Amino acid sequence: MKTRILACVLVALALLVSACGGGTSNETSGAREPSHPGPAASRQDPPRRDPGQGNTSGDDGAVVEEPRPLPSGGAEPADRISTFALDVDTASYGYARAALRDGRLPDPAQVRPEEFVNAFRQAYAEPPGDGLALHIDGARGRGADTALLRVGLQSRTADAAARRPANLTFVVDVSGSMGEAGRLDLVRDALHTLVDQLGPGDRVALVSFSDRARLRISMTPAGRRHELHAAIDTLGTEGSTDLETGLVTGYTEAARAFRPVATNRVILLSDGLANTGDTTWQGILDRVEEYAGRRITLLCVGVGREYGDTLMEQLADHGDGAAVYAGSAAEAREVFVERLPASIDLRARDAKAQVAFNPATVASYRLLGYENRALDEQDFRDDAKDGGEVGPGHAVTALYAVRLRPGTSGQIAVATARWQDPDSREPAETSRAMDVAELAGGLWDDASPRLQVDAVVAAFAQRLRHAEDDLLTEDLTVLAGHATRLAAATEDPMVAELADLIRTAGSLD
């Protein structure tokens, strides 16, 4: 199976440039704001949303907010506001899944709950246009004063016919760590297949790296297939892994051939095990961030039993891109065909979320995951501060464990998302508020099936990284039972697989 991984990954990449990309009535779509934003939102008690002012109803019943002035006023206590950059990475879950299938528990340090949750289908309603739609719901926990709050964002799927042309620079690791018998042969075959499926407006460059980097072919129109095929045939394993040199060479070519009318992307295929050149990471990350500022995004495709998860994840974050991991042919299909079919384009650049909790109803809160994506409150409307990039059809979910004040009622929180248009850099925002009365009566009894799935996935991640949790306290046996029940309710094969993975983890623990 392992020898088929890379071929499936790169064959699936063809669909990234040719294919196009779920629903609740609580979702809202983005609203454009003035080009010069006002000061950060501030209020001692977040204001209630007035459903009769400034809102219209969309075709699917969603509330669509009309443009409105940004709020202003005095500062709100910082401990009542949670701010973070959005993240569409799923590599942490993919690698954990592969480890468990291999009979190993994943390294707790490589378990990131947000990437576990974001690997699963959410079925949020899409916005009617570009930008992001915002969804917020929740359910009460076992304790009378505990609750799980979910903030979800969704972008619109893409129409394949409307996709802009792409400049794709493939940076392929050909070092000794990629030299398992037949592996590079399959990479060459997959690249041949990719070239044959590209459109007339697409262009491709190919860089290989080991202890040195080689530009196998400069940016070439996809129509000159015979030249691209010849370049692919020259790939062969050699030497150690100088990841920095490979990326710099790839970015240099991508910058030289940059087309403003195209999507410009570097695609790194590697196990992330840099052992030559700048292996301190910071030098590599600085270079990647520099090129991201020039509108060249990065997709990191991780492979291999031994995998440099942390480096690949940091590269994706600094490169305005995403990190995915393929541990099997089925995972490659799921990642590239179902979840990232149109991710060559962008829907939102430097996207951020901010949740302001009402101190009159909320005693405390805790965001599950996103530790390395946290932002200061003032960074939310500072458009020079880096956020996350969201492609077409992507869903991003954040879960909060909330402790309510006893017997409370009224508003829990106001959630706001902010992003920039990928081309014009014009900022936009959308907001939603939620009341205590909107919470489902019990997480495992009354909450929607998809919210329950998110709770199981997040709790599973917490168990794997040995994190204490006063809300999601279920052990692996109970979680496996919930996953089995929810697999039937959602008819989702990923949830059925989740139940098996949880049982495997229980047998290894």
Task: Give pLDDT tens digits for 209-266.
Answer: 999 999 999 999 999 999 999 999 999 888 888 888 999 999 999 999 999 989 899 9
Please name the residues in contact with 198: beta carbons below 8 A apart, sequence gap of 6 or more: 14, 17, 18, 204, 222
Task: Give φ, ψ of 197 to 5 degrees.
Answer: -105, -5
Span 383-397, mean pLDDT? 91
In a domain? residue 424: no
Given a contact cutoff of 8 angstroms between Cβ atoms, the answer to whether 172 and 269 are in contact is: yes
Residues 319/344, Cβ–Cβ less than 8 Å: no
**Residue 30 falls inside a structural domain:** no
For residues 310 and 295, give the distance between their C-alpha atoms in angstroms, rounded to a whole number: 23
The answer as to whether 232 is a domain residue is yes
Nearest CA-CA partner of 43 in 69, 15, 11, 81: 81
Contacts of 226 (CB under 8 A, 6+ apart): none
CA distance 220 to 225: 9
Within-domain flag for 439? no
For the stretch 33-58, pLDDT in tens is: 333 333 333 333 333 333 333 333 33
pLDDT in tens, 329-341: 555 555 544 554 4
Say which CATH number the domain at 217 has. Answer: 3.40.50.410
Q: Is 26 helix (H, G, I), strand (E, B) or coil?
A: coil
Q: Is residue 197 part of a domain?
A: yes
pLDDT of 148 strictly over 50: yes
pTM of the model: 0.79
- What is the arithmetic mean of pLDDT over 433-438? 97
Question: How would you classify the pairing of strands 322-325 and 63-65?
Answer: unpaired
Q: Secondary structure of 187-241 in the HEC alphabet?
A: HHHHHHHHHHHCCCCCEEEEEEECCCEEEEEEEEECCCHHHHHHHHCCCCCCCCC
Strands (DSSP E) found in 46-190:
55-57, 63-65, 81-85, 132-140, 146-155, 166-173
Other Cβ atoms less than 10 A from the Cβ of 425: the count is 12
- Domain membership of residue 234 as a residue range: 2-19+173-339
Name residue, tokens 């942490």. Answer: 92
The predicted structure's pLDDT at residue 280: 65
Residue of 79 and 240 predicted with greater confidence = 240
Percent of the chain with pLDDT over 70: 78
- The sign one gets for the Cα dihedral 208, 212, 216, 222 is positive
Is the pLDDT assigned to residue 468 strictly greater than 70?
Answer: yes
Neighbours of 20 (CB within 10 A): 16
Q: Give domain status of residue 285, yes or no.
A: yes
Cα distance between residue 428 and residue 418, in whole Å: 6
Query: How many domains does the chain fold into?
Result: 1
Kindly state whether residue 321 falls inside one of the protein's structural domains. yes
Mean pLDDT within 465-488: 95
Average pLDDT score over the chain: 81
Residue 402 · residue 439 · CB < 8 Å:
no
Lowest mean pLDDT among 30-39, 292-301, 347-356, 358-367: 30-39
pLDDT value at 180 more than 80: no
User: Largest alpha-carbon pair distance within the chain?
Assistant: 72
Q: What pLDDT does 55 receive?
A: 35
CA distance 289 to 123: 32
Q: Give the range among 172-186, 352-366, 367-381 with minimum mean pLDDT.
A: 172-186
Beta-carbon count within 10 A of 206 CB: 25
| 57 inside domain | no
